[in-house]
Amino acid sequence: MRVADIQTLYDYNYWATKHILHTTAGITDEQFTAPTRFPWGSLRGTLVHILAGERYWLYRWQGIPPRPDPTPADYPTLAALRERWPHDEAELRSYLATLTDDDLDRPHTYILQNGVAGTAPLWTRIVHVVTHGTLHRGEAAQMLTEFGRSPGDFDLADFLDERGA
């Protein structure tokens, strides 16, 4: 894995997130917070969970003690969440810009919220954040579709085709 590959994956990650956030602009506040059958309870809960995962791992990569995870209550409206996301994106991208190819292969030790410790090459946790977001964006897409606002296709191949890559 190379830093250039990681950058492409994060370009995709944020492109796909913006795609979902753009689609959410057509839903009501009630739909944003409505209970759903999905694990994070609502569209808001699912999107906040994606954001929290990005923060969670960024702090661990930086060796910063974790701050409390954001909660759905921290984002009472879609506008509040949409306003926050670019700040967190910029922070994560700034970190990624400091990495070298050698950094990606170095062992990274972490402790999960349940207290379980692990060690793995750094690149595996960095890629995990992208795949984690992909999973939950898929759930968000299903919720949006059920609200009559399908986001359409937004997988990696769509992103690469749009970029001409």
Residue with tokens 């191949």: 157
User: Sign of the C-alpha dihedral, residues 145, 148, 152, 155?
Assistant: negative
Beta strand pairing call for 107-111 and 117-121? antiparallel
pLDDT tens per residue across span 48-60: 999 999 999 999 9
Angle at Cα 10 formed by Cα 35 and Cα 34, nearest 5°?
A: 5
Predicted local confidence at residue 22, as pLDDT: 94
Paired with 118 in beta bridges are 110
pLDDT tens per residue across span 63-78: 888 788 889 999 999 9
The rounded distance, in Å, linking the Cα atoms of 99 and 6 is 10
The rounded distance, in Å, linking the Cα atoms of 21 and 140 is 10
- Is 11's pLDDT higher than 90? yes
pTM: 0.93
89 within 8 A of 100, measured Cβ to Cβ = no
The rounded distance, in Å, linking the Cα atoms of 129 and 74 is 21
**SS3 label, residue 75:** coil
Predicted local confidence at residue 26, as pLDDT: 86
Enter the DSSP assignment of 26: T
Which residue segments constitute the domains of the chain, with CATH numbers given? 3-163 (1.20.120.450)
- Is 125's pLDDT higher than 80? yes
- Is 135's pLDDT higher than 90? yes
